[in-house]
Amino acid sequence: MDYIRYMKSQPDYDHNTKHCLYGLDADLVMLGLCSHEPHFSLLREEVKFGRQAKRQTAAQGVRFFLLHLSLMREYLDLEFRSVKETLPFPYDLESIIDDWVSLPQTFK
């Protein structure tokens, strides 16, 4: 994420750059959304628990999942667009995403 932030600060940064981050941490979804990059994906392995996980070696049946955060951004936009007409201020998806990401932190 530090590298992506550094690249975004450069004057010749191309906003169509595609990013893919690998990891099992669920916070990566929130970090990716907060980057406000239009082409951001997350790659993660399937995590298995119990007996099935113990019998499996590293090379056997490892499945990967790819999450395109652009789709998640679209879903959030669809979810919150219904309040657009009732807001006393302009509707801004980027601000809504920031609020949505920080909301769970306020209830801890």
E strands within 1-108? Answer: 19-22, 40-45, 64-68
Query: Who wins on pLDDT, 51 or 83?
Result: 83
Global pTM reads: 0.74
User: One-letter amino acid identity for 87?
Assistant: L
**Per-residue pLDDT tens over the stretch 59-91:** 667 888 999 999 999 999 999 999 999 999 999
CA distance linking residue 19 with residue 69, whole number of Å: 10
The structure tokens listed for 26 are 């669920």
Domain count along the chain: 1
Contacts with 32 (C-beta within 8 Å, 6 or more apart), sequence order: 19, 21, 40, 42, 69
